[in-house]
Structure 1
Amino acid sequence: MTSIGLEEIEGVVQGHRDGHGFVSPDDGSPDIYLPPNEMRAVLHRDHVKVRVVRHDKRGRPEGRVVEIVQRPPHPIIGRLLHEGGIWLVAPEDKRYGQDVLIPKQGIGEAKAGEVVVVELTEPPALYGQPIGRVREVLGDIDDAGMEIEIAVRKYGVPHEFSAPAMAEARALPDTVRPADKAGRVDLTDVPLCTIDGEDARDFDDAVYCEPAVVTGRGKKPNGWRLLVAIADVSHYVKTNSPIDVDAYDRATSVYFPRRVIPMLPEKLSNGLCSLNPDVDRLCMVCDMLVTANGDVHAYQFYPAVMHSHARFTYTEVAAILANTRGPEAAKRKARVKDLENLHDVFRALLKARHARGAVDFDTVETQIIADESGRIERIEPRTRNDAHRLIEECMLAANVSSADYILGSKHAGLFRVHEGPTPEKMELLRAYLKALGLGLSISDEPHPSEFQRIAEATKDRPDAEQIHMMLLRSMSQAIYTPTNSGHFGLGYEAYTHFTSPIRRYPDLLVHRVIKAILQDRKYQLPDLPTPGEAHEKLTRRLKKQSASRRRDEGAPPKRLSEELLGWEAAGLHCSANERRAEEASRDVESWLKCKYMKEHLGEVFNGTVTAVTTFGLFVTLNELHVEGLVHITELGGEYFRFDEVRQELRGERTGIRYIIGSKVRVQVSRVDLDGRKIDFRMVSENDELPARPPRDRAGSAAAEGRAGNTAKPAKSAKSAKAGGRAARPPRADGEGPSRQAMSPIQALKASLKKATGRAKKSSKPRKTRR
């Protein structure tokens, strides 16, 4: 527990849409709660010093800000409003908690109602709001693609290449030149082919397989030769070049519905590096011999030049493998045998996967289908067939071989590490499994096969989905790091990413390391720029997770060499940008789903409970594949108690239980576009439903506290009511005193008058002692 005293703790402010906030300490210690009055003079993402002043009844620390160490020059995105003669911007990211005043001379060409990017000129104070000026006008909120324009700025995703990078890209050739082929193995006669989705535009991997004699001296094939050819991005993107600097800054491509923000300029990602059919392309090859049991018996890496003989889609390959005499196979007659060989090696690799006990849960992902104007037509689940899994297993084999090659050479590099569950998560999982009476559990040092065994043993139970969800939640997130500790989920002692250098920077680094080893030299990681402010919180979060894990294991902090420190920084940067890309994509998808559901207000659907919390149920509609919240006060007029071990809400009077997987019937009651929230209400066959609920307002039904509802919430929901407005269960918050709120229009006018005519303020952060 953090003690009360004079100690000052540094950390980053994480705002909450309800006005309070948290400080995430840099040292990885538990978060410190900031009540609303402490948030008045700070902003979300400020780096501050705090002092713990008290603990709540659950032992959680509450802090007071004593110094603002750094205020990152981050832009704020929101809608420009004109109210009572005052111009202001309401931030789109509600974690900022305060509107930004805009003096008239700071409006520029913007018009009321438009979405703008604001630069702060005056920070907030205890009794004064932040002041800024419009830096960029994005357009109207209903413009096609506006949700993506907002997200890339909200999460700080680089979306424009630098002028030097574009100039370098333009200077590159359009085709592979004869000089580029020097010193490479010629594979142009090998019928390598690509297998990707229908809408794929960049092809970074190609495969080929043939029967081969792997072990013994006989002539009869007893295994396969598997070639995985990967686009040789490192040939064109040199270390420290302008394109390389931009690629490192992005670290990954970001995928949105109908739009991709690539890591590399289009000339490379869709052209010169993409393994397009019927053209020569440079590649790095992992050439493997695979046994009948699916073990990689031997491998070698080499640079090559290839010529893709076909561009397949997953759907097409699945159809051919299902019927080798069907119409799809007839169109690709020359390649059918090659696909059959790939299918054979896939089955062998799958056998090895089962033997090592790798975790293999089937999860449902959705995709948004939109028309040309951007309007959503439907949301449907992504179907995963044998073609998807075939490519996945081939890529896994190449990635494992890459990790083994780097380890064997004792060269530094980035590994993809997925550690096992923490002791805390293991205890929670054990308690859950015990409460279900399954007779199954996990050991103190679990192997992935234990998780897979539980999944297999429960797959036919009615609550299988709930059990598998709990197994998944006990896992850690995978990260990039130079310290190899294996991949728990896949059951590998060493694993890395080699197969997607067009869209992932770690893969590009792995290619460079492998090339250096082949040339009997050492790859020197360049001096990398400091990660952008926009994702510092993600880097800190990963550091915090690592520090927490070391504390749980009782291990002292590891001392890394100067070289490994550089690789560690690169790994943190790439991991943080990966999380940033995921959050930005998820934010856009949530916004689009909310917009889609506004057309279905008042309609009733069948759904499935996908999460149970202290404040209600998250339900996914079976037909539309959209998730929303049924607040606990919508469950009926009785007392519901949350059981964390069983992950259920149980009514004390009726004994009704809601668990993950429960089938329910709900009505779409409210949609909050700004908050990315969808609210449902539980209905039964006897309910009399209005044709359409009252017109949607800005706040969600949960945010409005369900005024007029006499249902008695569970005690456990008391402290989580604010959290009930989040799309997912947030951190628990505490209680704290608050100062009197500022008067509205008078305070705005006073602040604006004070700011008007003032000399242009520097955006340099000020140190403020309180």
Structure 2
Amino acid sequence: MTQKNPRNAHLPTKEQVRTFIDESETPVDKREIARAFNIKGADRIYLKKILKELIEDGHLERGRKRELAPAGALPSVAVIEVDRIDKGGEAIARPVSWQEDTKPPLIYVLQPGRTQAPGVRDRLLARLSRQKDGTYEAHVIRRLEASAGPVLGVYTKTGKDGRVQPTNRKLKKEVIVREENSMGAQSGEVVLCDILPGKAYSLPEGRVTQRVGPMDDAASLSLIAIHAHGIPDKFDEASIKEALAAKPVSLGKRTDLRGLPLLTIDPADARDRDDAIWAAPDDDPKNKGGWQAIVAIADVAHYVTHGSALDRTAKERGNSVYFPDRVVPMLPHELSSDLCSLHENVDRPVMAVHMWFDSEGNKLRHKFMRGLIRSVASLTYRQAQDAHEGVTDEKTEMLAKEVIEPLFGAYASLKKARSKRKPLDLDLPERRIEFGEDGFIKAVHKRERFAAHMLVEEFMIQANVSAAETLVKMKRPCMFRVHEPPATDKMIGLHETLAEMNISFAKGQVVTTETFNRILAQADNEIDRELVSSLVLRSQSQAVYSPDNLHHFGLHLQNYAHFTSPIRRYADLLIHRSLIAALKLGDGGLKDEEALEFSEIGTQISATERRAMVAERETTDRFTAVFLANKVGEIFTAKVSGVTRAGLFLSLDDSGADALAPISTLGNDFFNFDQEKHMLVGKRTGRVFRLADRLAVRLREVDIVTGSMIVEIEDGREGGTPPSRRTPADRKGKTGGKPPARNPVKKKKRTTPKGKKRAQRRQQQE
């Protein structure tokens, strides 16, 4: 029971004042407190005293305009940022400025009718009302400029304070970090910092929230992408517990495939092995020259069941993310690299499809089963290719004739059917980062591509088609891999670009994959083919996951789904579950409630896939920049891959690295940008730079933080000729390859009446 003040019984106690302030929805000032307790005149001195004591005791804080609120409370008006949208569609925000060590209180954004609902990372100026449970309700006053979110960058000490250079190339301003907000960061460290409220036109000020690691450590390069894109890289305790509890599978009711010599073929640096293959001639006399093949895929659905902790985390991640030095897996290591990985000479559970093809590679029929395999070997693409070409090693010597050659024999038939189908045939080599034994980058190569790559790829496509066909036929839920035809506006742009490369592509035609293959066939050499492949790829629609069967344009297939990589793609796991339920293959099948979420899940995993692609590309750029940082000043051959007002984008031949030649480095001239023809034309010299030009360039700058590189054009083209001195007339053969003669300056005719009279008199005299 609260005791009254003995001297002034009509005045409130300290506890009563504190309770009043605690229960107020917004901060209050001294006048409001006095009014609430009817405190007048000299009694205000007493109120001032107990308020001072409450502040000194740490129970209250004084805010703006001398308002008082409980310690840790938010002001009545504040800038907030939407953190997430809950399942009910309600926006939940957090204060932009929060100095406490504890988590900030939840802020529920009230949504007035007819106004656009706020989205994640939207910043709002809002009036806050504190609720009895410690949460807040926010009444939006107005929207502010959207926040770029926490900034990841490299910290540099500058005197007492420091600055952070953002790793995101789009963020042009450095961030000032006061010493008290630095968390003790040292120069050269990668840090994550929140932006503090400040003036719009000055450098932003930030507070370091995490020290990631030193920039010169290769491990930090991947961590930059992980943090920048919000990629989950830690598993919760429940998921780890489930993974640790998983056990090997016995045969049971599974089909025993251990007598067949299935094997895996993967890159040398593969982190997981989720597919095994086998092929042999079809023994049916009615199918002369035909083949049978089995594609066996890790039975992830046995271990990852709907609604489990592993399922929730796999759905959240959507896919594994592969960096040059590490993988951020969709599933914990105990599954992704062990029980669900088809290692050689150990029993592993699989979902398998047995397929039969005729001599022309046309699929006759297929059958799915749940089985148990024991891979006879884990080969690299190089090993499989060498064995096919007669160069065997200790592992492939016994497998070459009976196991490897039938695989290539079946592929030869499948290739015939592929040729008739005419899928999009792009030449897009990948960059491979090679590490030395010391862990440092040894080289950057274009990844080699063999017939063995295409063999495995075609086997996987056939298995994916079989999965989609089965689910379509049985009218069961399917997460299709959809690739729609390219948009018309992109085709117009591609036509204009290819015209400058003397590649014919008629405007307005109905495009098919064969149309693009004819374009690619016009490329003169391998370098040109890579560039044209890149241009064609940019013109394509983005492939996505969807429960609606909108077909796959690029592969020229009516029914297509991803079935072959459930270790690293959630979409494939859903296909496995749907097949299990449709074919009654035991436990782990798709649930009805799960099928209802296919549309939402498709949108989500399409987004996580795009996130992974961007993160992987950015990291490869940074690793390449680290490798080339010691080669500043050296000369490289390159191909112009883009032309803008700012300069030329180039791709270095050896490494595939991207670089920019700013327009200021192109020569002592003023260059006009011809957007339609993708050219820069010198106004004084007539010098032309255009798409697909081969140039010699000198590496001038390397920025490891952003992964960007600056080059300058050398005064000498590959082969000794000056770079890009041709004009449009040169290309048509009108000047014999020489610079055009300067045109004589023509005097303008006078157009004034006086000028006309002089001209008439001159004519009369003549």
TM-score for the superposition, normalised by structure 2: 0.71
| Structure 1 partner of 2:220 | 146
Root-mean-square deviation (Å)? 3.2
Is the aligned partner of 1:47 residue 2:122? yes
Residue 639 of structure 1 and its aligned partner are, at CA, apart by 3.7
For 1:288, the aligned partner's letter is M
Residue 373 of structure 1 and its aligned partner are, at CA, apart by 4.0
Distance 2:457 2:501 in 1: 34
Distance 2:147 2:656 in 1: 40
Residue 681 of structure 1 and its aligned partner are, at CA, apart by 0.8
| Structure 2 partner of 1:198 | 268
| Structure 2 partner of 1:669 | 700
Residue 89 of structure 1 and its aligned partner are, at CA, apart by 4.5
Distance 1:642 1:317 in 2: 49
For 1:240, the aligned partner's letter is G
Aligned positions, number: 586
| Structure 1 partner of 2:519 | 454
| Contact 1:240/1:526 (<8 A) preserved | no
Q: 1:166 aligns with which of 204, 228, 240?
A: 240
Distance 2:710 2:384 in 1: 41
- Check 1:163–1:69 CA distance in 2 against 1; reply closer, same or farther (3 A cut): farther
Distance 1:242 1:330 in 2: 40
Residue 238 of structure 1 and its aligned partner are, at CA, apart by 0.9
- Check 1:525–1:627 CA distance in 2 against 1; reply closer, same or farther (3 A cut): farther
- Check 1:402–1:572 CA distance in 2 against 1; reply closer, same or farther (3 A cut): same
User: What fraction of aligned residue pairs are identical, expressed as a percent?
Assistant: 34
CA deviations 1:470-515 (Å, max 9, x no partner) are 3332211211111111111111112111001111111111111111
Distance 2:290 2:221 in 1: 50
| Contact 2:221/2:622 (<8 A) preserved | yes
| Structure 2 partner of 1:226 | 293
| Structure 2 partner of 1:682 | 713
Q: 1:384 aligns with which of 437, 441, 449?
A: 449
For 1:497, the aligned partner's letter is H
- Check 1:526–1:172 CA distance in 2 against 1; reply closer, same or farther (3 A cut): same
| Contact 2:281/2:292 (<8 A) preserved | yes
Is the aligned partner of 1:253 residue 2:320? yes
Residue 519 of structure 1 and its aligned partner are, at CA, apart by 1.7
Distance 2:528 2:259 in 1: 52
| Structure 1 partner of 2:416 | 351
For 2:714, the aligned partner's letter is V
Is the aligned partner of 1:641 residue 2:711? no
Q: Secondary structure at the match of 1:328?
A: coil
| Structure 2 partner of 1:605 | 636
CA deviations 1:416-472 (Å, max 9, x no partner) are 111111010122233445566655436643221121123224456995555444333
List gaps (5 residues or longer) in structure 1: 1-10, 14-43, 51-64, 528-562, 687-770
For 2:260, the aligned partner's letter is V
Segment of structure 1 superposing worse, 394-403 or 142-151 = 142-151
For 1:346, the aligned partner's letter is Y
Distance 2:546 2:287 in 1: 43
| Contact 1:466/1:659 (<8 A) preserved | no
CA deviations 1:177-206 (Å, max 9, x no partner) are x3xx32211111011111111122311000
Q: Secondary structure at the match of 1:333?
A: coil
Is the aligned partner of 1:501 residue 2:501? no
Q: 1:115 aligns with which of 180, 186, 190?
A: 190
| Contact 1:211/1:225 (<8 A) preserved | yes
Is the aligned partner of 1:67 residue 2:143? yes
For 2:279, the aligned partner's letter is C
Residue 614 of structure 1 and its aligned partner are, at CA, apart by 3.0
Residue 102 of structure 1 and its aligned partner are, at CA, apart by 5.2
Q: 1:212 aligns with which of 265, 276, 282?
A: 282
Q: Secondary structure at the match of 1:607?
A: strand
Q: Secondary structure at the match of 1:317?
A: helix
| Contact 2:446/2:654 (<8 A) preserved | no
- Check 1:461–1:150 CA distance in 2 against 1; reply closer, same or farther (3 A cut): closer
Residue 395 of structure 1 and its aligned partner are, at CA, apart by 0.3
CA deviations 1:297-343 (Å, max 9, x no partner) are 111111111111111111011111112xx443895224523221111
Q: 1:333 aligns with which of 392, 398, 402?
A: 398
Distance 1:470 1:88 in 2: 39
Residue 596 of structure 1 and its aligned partner are, at CA, apart by 2.1
Distance 2:246 2:525 in 1: 56
| Contact 2:503/2:522 (<8 A) preserved | no
Residue 97 of structure 1 and its aligned partner are, at CA, apart by 5.3
Residue 66 of structure 1 and its aligned partner are, at CA, apart by 5.1
Distance 1:520 1:377 in 2: 48
Distance 2:520 2:320 in 1: 33
For 1:114, the aligned partner's letter is E
- Check 1:651–1:45 CA distance in 2 against 1; reply closer, same or farther (3 A cut): farther
For 2:456, the aligned partner's letter is I
- Check 1:111–1:638 CA distance in 2 against 1; reply closer, same or farther (3 A cut): closer
Equivalent positions of 1:716-755 (< 5 A) are none
| Structure 2 partner of 1:292 | 359
Distance 1:491 1:440 in 2: 20
- Check 1:79–1:365 CA distance in 2 against 1; reply closer, same or farther (3 A cut): closer
Distance 1:393 1:489 in 2: 14
| Contact 1:210/1:225 (<8 A) preserved | yes
| Contact 2:648/2:663 (<8 A) preserved | yes
| Contact 1:650/1:657 (<8 A) preserved | yes
Equivalent positions of 1:616-655 (< 5 A) are 616-655=647-686
For 2:705, the aligned partner's letter is D
Q: Secondary structure at the match of 1:145?
A: helix
Equivalent positions of 1:688-699 (< 5 A) are none
| Contact 2:427/2:533 (<8 A) preserved | no
Distance 2:176 2:444 in 1: 39
- Check 1:70–1:595 CA distance in 2 against 1; reply closer, same or farther (3 A cut): closer
Q: Which has the higher contact order (CA 8 A, sep 6+)?
A: 1
| Contact 2:361/2:417 (<8 A) preserved | yes
Distance 1:605 1:250 in 2: 39
Q: 2:689 aligns with which of 655, 658, 677?
A: 658
- Check 1:654–1:93 CA distance in 2 against 1; reply closer, same or farther (3 A cut): closer
- Check 1:650–1:145 CA distance in 2 against 1; reply closer, same or farther (3 A cut): same
Distance 2:173 2:560 in 1: 45
CA deviations 1:663-702 (Å, max 9, x no partner) are 211111122233322111111259xxxxxxxxxxxxxxxx
CA deviations 1:276-310 (Å, max 9, x no partner) are 01111000011111111111111111111111111
Distance 1:458 1:100 in 2: 46
Q: 1:370 aligns with which of 435, 440, 453?
A: 435
Q: Secondary structure at the match of 2:393?
A: helix
- Check 1:135–1:616 CA distance in 2 against 1; reply closer, same or farther (3 A cut): closer
Distance 1:387 1:118 in 2: 46
Q: Secondary structure at the match of 2:444?
A: strand
Distance 1:469 1:421 in 2: 14
Residue 94 of structure 1 and its aligned partner are, at CA, apart by 5.2
Distance 2:182 2:123 in 1: 30
| Structure 2 partner of 1:303 | 370
Is the aligned partner of 1:271 residue 2:341? no
For 1:367, the aligned partner's letter is R
- Check 1:286–1:331 CA distance in 2 against 1; reply closer, same or farther (3 A cut): closer
Distance 1:344 1:677 in 2: 45
Q: Secondary structure at the match of 1:485?
A: coil
- Check 1:467–1:382 CA distance in 2 against 1; reply closer, same or farther (3 A cut): closer
Equivalent positions of 1:527-538 (< 5 A) are none
| Contact 1:144/1:373 (<8 A) preserved | no
Q: Secondary structure at the match of 1:306?
A: strand
Segment of structure 1 superposing worse, 515-524 or 600-609 = 515-524
Residue 640 of structure 1 and its aligned partner are, at CA, apart by 3.0
- Check 1:658–1:209 CA distance in 2 against 1; reply closer, same or farther (3 A cut): same
Residue 134 of structure 1 and its aligned partner are, at CA, apart by 3.7
| Contact 2:492/2:507 (<8 A) preserved | no
List gaps (5 residues or longer) in structure 2: 1-80, 84-118, 126-140, 718-766
| Structure 1 partner of 2:133 | none
